[in-house]
Structure 1
Amino acid sequence: MLNRALKNVVLPLVLFPALTALALKYTLARVPTTSLALKLKDGCASQPGSPYALSYTGHLKVDGVLCRLVTFFHTTMDDDLGLQFLAYFIGTGAILALLPVMEASRSRKSPLLAFPLLWLLASQVFTLGATMTVYALAFILTGAHRKGTKEQKEITQAYAESIIFALLVGAVAPSLCLVMLKDPQVTALWQIYPVFMSIAGAIHLLIRPPSKVAGSGWTSIQVLLLGIFILSSSLHFATVWPLINEPANIQQLLIPSIAPLPSSASPALAALDFLQWDYVFAFVSLMLVSFWFAQSVIQFFALLVWYIVATPVVGPGAALAGVFLWREAQLH
Structure 2
Amino acid sequence: MSVLDIYTLVPVLLFTSTAYSAHHFLISHLIKSGGLALLQAQCPPNPGPYNIQYIGFGPIDSLLCLLITFFQSNFDPETFIFNANFMASWSTLIALTFVEAVRSRRSTVLAFPVILGLFYQTQGAGVIFPLFWLALILSGHTRMERVAARIDQANAEATLFAVLIGFAVPSALLLILQDPVVTALWQFFPIWMWAAQIGHLFFRPSSRFYTSGYWTVQATFALTFTLSAISHIAAICTTRENLALLKRLYVPPILPLDPEMADLQLITRAFLQWDSIFTFGSSLVGTLWFATNVKQAALVALWNAIATVAVGPGAAVSGVLIWREWRLNGVSDVTKKKR
TM-score, normalization: structure 2? 0.93
Distance in 2 separating the partners of 1:240 and 1:204: 37
Q: Is contact 2:114–2:194 with CA below 8 Å preserved after alignment?
A: yes
Alignment-derived partner of residue 35 in structure 2:
36
Q: Does 1:116 align with 2:141?
A: no
Bigger shift: 282-291 or 161-170?
A: 282-291
Counterpart position of 2:174: 178
CA offsets 1:228-248 (integer angstroms, 9 cap, x no match): 212211111111123224333
Cα distance between partner residues in 2 of 1:327 and 1:23:
27
Aligned length: 328
Contact 2:239 2:246 in 1 (8 A): yes
Q: Is the 8 A contact 1:36 1:268 kept in 2?
A: no
The alignment status of 1:295 with 2:292, answered yes or no, reads yes
Give the C-alpha shift of residue 47 in structure 1: 5.6
Match of 2:124 among 127, 132, 153: 127
For residues 119 and 291 of structure 1, what CA distance do their matches in structure 2 show?
A: 22
Per the alignment, residue 164 of structure 2 pairs with: 168
Amino acid at match of 2:125: L
- Aligned ranges 1:33-112 → 2 under 5 Å: 33-46=32-45, 50-77=48-75, 79-112=76-109
- Superposition pairs of residues 181-200 of structure 1, within 5 angstroms: 181-200=177-196
Q: Which amino acid aligns with 1:123?
A: Y
Deviation at 1:119, TM superposition (A): 0.7
8 Å CA contact retained: 2:225, 2:316: yes
Q: How does 1:133-152 map to 2 (within 5 A)?
A: 133-148=130-145, 150-152=146-148
> Contact 1:130 / 1:281 at 8 angstroms: preserved in 2?
yes
Other-structure match for 2:243: 247
Q: For the residues of structure 2 that align with 1:256 and 1:40, how far apart are their CA atoms?
A: 20
Q: Does 1:2 align with 2:14?
A: no
Q: Matches of 2:4 and 2:46 in 1, distance apart? A: 59
Asked whether the 8 Å contact 2:174–2:186 carries over to 1, the reply is yes
Residues 87-140 of structure 1, C-alpha deviations (whole Å, 9 max, x = no match): 211112100111110000101111000111111111001111111011111111
* Consecutive unaligned residues in structure 2, runs of 5 or more: 330-339
> Is the 2:144–2:328 Cα contact (8 Å) retained in structure 1?
yes
> When the two structures are superposed, what TM-score results if normalisation uses the length of structure 1?
0.95
Listed one character per residue, the Cα deviations across residues 209-246 of structure 1 (whole Å, up to 9, x for unaligned) are 01111311111111221122122111111111232243
Match of 2:318 in 1: 321
1:228 corresponds in structure 2 to: 224
Q: Distance in 1 between matches of 2:182 and 2:102?
A: 29
Q: Is the 8 A contact 2:44 2:62 kept in 1?
A: no
Cα offset, 1:35, TM superposition: 4.0
What is residue 253 of structure 2 aligned with on the other side?
257
Q: Which runs of 5+ in 1 are unaligned?
A: none
User: Conserved in 2, the CA contact under 8 Å of 1:41 and 1:68?
Assistant: yes
- Cα displacement (A) at 1:328: 0.4
Residue 265 of structure 1: SS of its match in structure 2?
Answer: coil
Distance 1:30 1:240 in 2: 27
1:213 lines up with 2:209 in the alignment = yes
Q: Which SS does the other structure have where 1:51 is aligned?
A: coil
Shift of 1:33: 1.9
Letter of the 1:5 counterpart? D
Distance 1:233 1:198 in 2: 26
**Aligned position for 1:16:** 15
**Shift of the alpha carbon at 1:147?**
3.5
